[in-house]
Amino acid sequence: MLEIGGHNFLFSLIGGLGLFLFGMRTMSDGLQKVAGDRMRKILAALTNNRFVGTLVGLAVTAIIQSSSATTVMVIGFVNAGLLSLVQAIGVVLGANIGTTITAQLIALNISEFALPAIGLGAAIALFAQDKQKSYWGEVLLGFGLLFLGLSLMKQAFDPLKHSEEIRQIFTLIGDYHLLGVFIGALLTIIVQSSTATIGITLVLATTGIIGFEASVALILGENIGTTITANFAAIGTNLAARRTAFCHFLFNAIGVAYMLMFLPAFLGLVDMLTPGDADALIANQAQAELLGGMIGDKPFIARHIANAHTLFNVINTLLFLPFLGLLAKFATLVIRGQERVGKLQTQFIDSRVLNTPPIALGQARRETERMGKVTLEVLQQTNLFLESGELKKIKELESREELIDHLHQEITDFLVALSQKSVAARTSREIAVLLHVVKDFERIADHCENLWNLAQRKIENRIAFSEIGLTELAEISGVTEEFLGLVVAEIEAGSNAIGATAMAYEGRINDLEKNLRNNHIDRLNTGECSVRPGMIFIDMLHDFKKISEHTYNIAETVMESAD
């Protein structure tokens, strides 16, 4: 084991990196809880305008501190038909800029505040009565852990700057920029985190082990590495996912290629925009105290690197925005094929975004809305079958009911997994609401299945209803369908103003079921109806009443969640 300066180099590096990544995750989770509602509004701003899409990608990534989560979200939107490939590319370009906020954050020279931030953040998170304040405590705690991790990594690397062999090795990166790009990309692929690569690069640079040129080469490599990771993740997914991931790789790789060609000019631009000499060293103790570092450190290089990272992505985005259509066409030519959509398949939820609860909750809500529409279609088709008696409709009804069962299972599993994450209290309540709603939709589909099975038995046994019975059945089926359609539309519109209307419908259907049942009993007593059709008729009335009850449960659950 390598011992340097009385410290275990490997342990300090691994421990520091672990604290750094855990701090980033804690801070990101806290920010997501604080900004959950705002982020949903930002996502709602997605339009056909590619510039707006880019700004949305930037804003969301800056909030959640995860470009990969933004990319996965965008892929889900493309798959669901909510975004075109061109729009998705615009959002991913914005995410590229948004993720540079991380580098700007960790370039701050405030490690001395790490421990107070940890102490204060932990106290607020643990003891604050107000949930919103406790979330800000998590943000502060993560912020402190991040900088403590950076400080530990810096201490681990600091003795290396006195090693001539180490200096010569890292000098090669400055001399051979392609080597630096390769190492930056490889490191990002290995650690599966562009944030970790940026942190290590900043530590190596601030301790004076590598120069500004070498640092920029590593950062350019990180921009390629993070897209290769995304392409690996897209293997085996749908065409939209693979094309979006490929476009992400393409514009980053092309950007790195032309940036290497004009690297001296680019470095000069960064120097011009950033105060201080990037490669200036702290020469004495007086400077160390003044600039907050150690002798041999580079006090200005961190801000230069962060600005280079941001500037590269801003320039690349501005250059590619006018050509998004061409980029999408090229991706379609390279990755050919037609999307095969399975019958039993979710459209919106993606387990890869579970670590980003606001986005995951939005996906679950959309999938639930889809389940509601399919359930309404099942009821509509069931009513048509009751009227027409065409047995060929049974196969399609069974297929749709199977889809509802599948969606119920998938959405429930997704929501349970989401509930096990660190989520805000409001998010937790919404998860509970959706779990109840999907269960009621599934039960409605079950009662529809009962109805068409009863109708099938009636047809096969040549049982006929009286004209009055058929009229009454059409009346209660029509009102029930109308009620479910209203509730599904209100859920889709995000409205909670259905209270009085839902109660009126539920009361009307209950009274109707009771009256029709009594009417039927009267007809049995007078001999107008026989027992066999009567049993099926009563069972059908019961199923429509149960559908009404589950529909009212959905309306009531949605109303209560708004309180």
Q: Cβ atoms within 10 A of the Cβ of 25, count?
A: 18
Q: Do 430 and 533 fall into the same domain?
A: yes
At 147 the pLDDT is 84
Tokens read off for 513: 């079921």
In a domain, 346, yes or no: no
At 293 the pLDDT is 60
Q: Do 388 and 324 fall into the same domain?
A: no
Q: Do 104 and 219 fall into the same domain?
A: yes
Q: Do 325 and 398 fall into the same domain?
A: no
Q: Do 226 and 320 fall into the same domain?
A: yes
Bridge-partner residues for 7, per DSSP? Answer: 4
At 3 the pLDDT is 44
Q: Do 259 and 392 fall into the same domain?
A: no
Instruction: Kindly report the backbone phi and psi dihedral angles of residue 417, in degrees, each rounded to the nearest multiple of 5, phi listed first.
Output: -65, -40
Q: Do 327 and 358 fall into the same domain?
A: no
How many domains does the chain divide into?
2
Q: Do 290 and 365 fall into the same domain?
A: no
Among 285, 300, 334, the domain boundary falls at 334
In a domain, 206, yes or no: yes
Tokens read off for 377: 């279609």
Q: Do 314 and 384 fall into the same domain?
A: no
At 5 the pLDDT is 46
Tokens read off for 421: 């994450």
In a domain, 261, yes or no: yes
Q: Do 19 and 51 fall into the same domain?
A: yes
Count how many residues are written for the chain: 563
Q: Which ranges of 44-84 would DSSP assign to H, the alpha helix?
A: 50-64, 67-79
In a domain, 538, yes or no: yes
Q: How far apart are the first and last CA of the chain?
A: 60
Q: What is the mean pLDDT of each run of 10 residues along the chain (563 residues)?
A: 51 82 80 67 63 82 71 66 75 86 79 86 87 84 86 76 66 78 86 79 83 89 83 69 84 92 92 83 58 64 90 92 85 74 70 76 88 94 89 88 93 92 81 94 95 88 82 91 92 74 88 87 74 82 93 85 57
In a domain, 347, yes or no: no
Q: Which domain holds residue 418?
A: 353-561
Query: Cα 320 to the chain's mean position, in Å?
Result: 25
In a domain, 553, yes or no: yes
Among 266, 299, 334, the domain boundary falls at 334
At 381 the pLDDT is 93
In a domain, 374, yes or no: yes
Rounded distance between C-alpha atoms, residue 127 and residue 541, angstroms: 55
At 336 the pLDDT is 78
**CATH classification at residue 483:** 1.20.58.220
At 4 the pLDDT is 43
Check residue 296 and give left, alpha or beta (phi > 0: left; psi -120 to 50: alpha). left
Q: Do 270 and 360 fall into the same domain?
A: no
